[in-house]
Amino acid sequence: MVSGQGEWFADESIWEDLYPFHFPESAFTVADEQVEKILRLAGIGSGKVLDLCCGPGRHAVALAKRGFAVTGVDRTSFLLERARARAAQANLPVEFVLEDMRRFSRPATFDLIINIFTSFGYFDDRADDLRVLKLVRENLRPGGVFVLEMVSKERLARLFQATTSTELPNGDVLFERHEIVDDWTRVRNRWTLMREGDTRTFEFTHRIYSGQELKDLLASAGLAGARVYGDLAGGAYGFDAQRLVVVARTSL
């Protein structure tokens, strides 16, 4: 079976089938450390936080543990169910909202907005990426901070692998094939999941950005003066950068 009709991320079954690969328990364990680094980068110690594309609530729950008023937004019901269950298990009051990041609007509400784990660049139309960033600016309070973390074009250029695979302890195997397309602006992916003798294939593309391209896009959205880092610890965005992390602030 091939999944690729319409907007690929709207297919709930993708997130269900690939959940064990994307969100093993270790991913939740490391979220606490990641949140500490995010808060240091942002210079935020309290207030309201929006976890945009929150997935199963890894960072939303970690932020709520620290006393923040947290709203998590995602367009995938399956992932939000997991997020609500995790917050309830921890007895934490997190608001989870089912909504597309291109439409979620609460002007001047949040002190911090985060978008983590390459949850940006899903859309076919680049104008949708700009639309999202304009909403981020509008949803931030004066002096609010936006932290975005994703894979970078520079790192892909240095370490690109056309084929990778991952096998889980239960025997499930995910084969990933990647191809750079559209003049180095997108990655075309073909992922094949083998589970208990059945095979399912997912095909989709994802937009990629360099550090400067992302800074320019943020400036177009009204978030000028963004700082670029190579990891959530605030490392330099140089040759050895592991990720593309951008921190932008609204004016007071």
Residue 106 shares a structural domain with residue 67: yes
Site of tokens 């328990």:
25
Rounded to two decimals, what is the model's pTM?
0.96
**90 shares a domain with 184:** no
How far apart, in Å, are the Cα atoms of 209 and each of 125, 184, 185? 14, 9, 7
Domain of residue 26 covers: 2-151+209-249
Q: Are residues 77 and 201 in the same domain?
A: no
Number of domains in the chain: 2
- Tens digits of residue pLDDT in 64-75: 999 999 999 999
- Is the predicted pLDDT of residue 1 greater than 70, yes or no? no
pLDDT in tens, 113-151: 999 999 999 999 999 999 999 999 999 999 999 999 999
The stretch 219-242 carries a mean pLDDT of 96
pLDDT digits (tens, 9 = 90+) for 141-164: 999 999 999 999 999 999 999 999
126 in the same domain as 58: yes
| 171-178 mean pLDDT | 98
25, HSE (Cβ side, Cα atoms, 13 Å): 0
Q: Are residues 103 and 131 both part of a single domain? A: yes
Q: Does 224 share its domain with 144?
A: yes
Quick check: 50 and 74 in contact, CB under 8 A? no
